[in-house]
Chain A
Amino acid sequence: MTTLQKSGTMIPITITKETVLVVKEQDVVPLRNTVKQCAVKIKMGLVNQTKLITAASELVRNMLRYAKGGAVLVETVSVGRNQGVKLTFQDDGPGIADINQAMQDGFSTGNSLGLGLPGTKRLVNEFDIKSTVGSGTTVTIIKWVNG
């Protein structure tokens, strides 16, 4: 198993959580709404909301394309006085053989622009990906209100 972590020394405390299942393309719309509601609830600014929802949109597409769907855990979290939205994308798809390669701009095995993972990482504050070939991939992102 390989992992890649961006930062994150403190462990966030979960305030609310909700799981959204994504099995077809249209499911991305309710997921975006759930994420938006969470972000609005903790008074996240419009630009950060947009970045977070765009990141979620990218990751859901990956899940649908490579793993035929999965589950998304939507949480509002806090570390000290800082609040944020944490999203965990879990699938039991084929997994990613080389995460470092998958994180490179322009790399894709699926005939896309290859911006999904590296682009998503740029849009959020915390980004963590764990993948095991043959058993699935878990991507966790956090966007802080003041991030």
Chain B
Amino acid sequence: MERIPILKMGQFLLVTIQVDLYDRLALDLEADLINAVEKNAAKGVLIDISAVSIVDSFMGRILGNIANMSRLLDAQTVVVGIQPAVAITLVELGLPLTGVRTALNVERGMELLNSLITFDDTTEEWDDDTDNDH
């Protein structure tokens, strides 16, 4: 059976979708990815869809689901590489993917994930400082 590979890179998971998605494949990816987040204690998920020429309402919903589910497992999701034509189509379709973090390409997506996690760490440190003061 066809499966989309999930790569582990440090505390992040990296998924590059390079095939035409159909519903079953997208659903399997959602399940595999959430299980992988839990198994690897991943802090971030990066999904590269630069090779995907079509994102319809179902796949859009799956991307939103992945972002929400990962958040429940304390992982951030960034979708990168959305093609301009796909962005135009998604908005006209009525699915602007609000709630899904995006970045232009993999490099910026990685930077964003790193900053999100560093931000988490600094807030914790700030909390510690306040505790010490009192």
Interface residues of A (CB under 8 A from B): 25-26, 28-29, 32, 46-47, 49-51, 53-54, 57-58, 61, 105, 112-113, 115-116, 118-120, 122-123
- Asked whether B3 is an interface residue with its Cβ less than 8 Å from the other chain, the reply is no
Interface of A is mostly: helix
- Write the chain A residue with the least CB distance to B91: A122
With A26-B22, A28-B22, A119-B95 known to touch, is A46 a contact of B57 (CB < 8 Å)?
no
Interface of B is mostly: helix
- In the assembled complex, the Cα of A26 lies from the Cα of B28 at a distance in Å of 14
**Interface locus among B8-16, B43-51, B82-90, B109-117:** B82-90
CB neighbours (8 Å) of A29 from chain B are 20, 22
- Write the chain A residue with the least CB distance to B61: A113
Tell me whether B54 and A32 are in contact (CB under 8 A): yes
Tell me whether A50 and B89 are in contact (CB under 8 A): yes
Which B residues between 58 and 107 are near A, CB-CB below 8 angstroms?
Answer: 58, 61, 83-86, 88-89, 92-95
- In the assembled complex, the Cα of A47 lies from the Cα of B83 at a distance in Å of 10
Tell me whether B22 and A115 are in contact (CB under 8 A): no
- Measured CB to CB, the closest approach of chain B to A95, in angstroms, equals 22
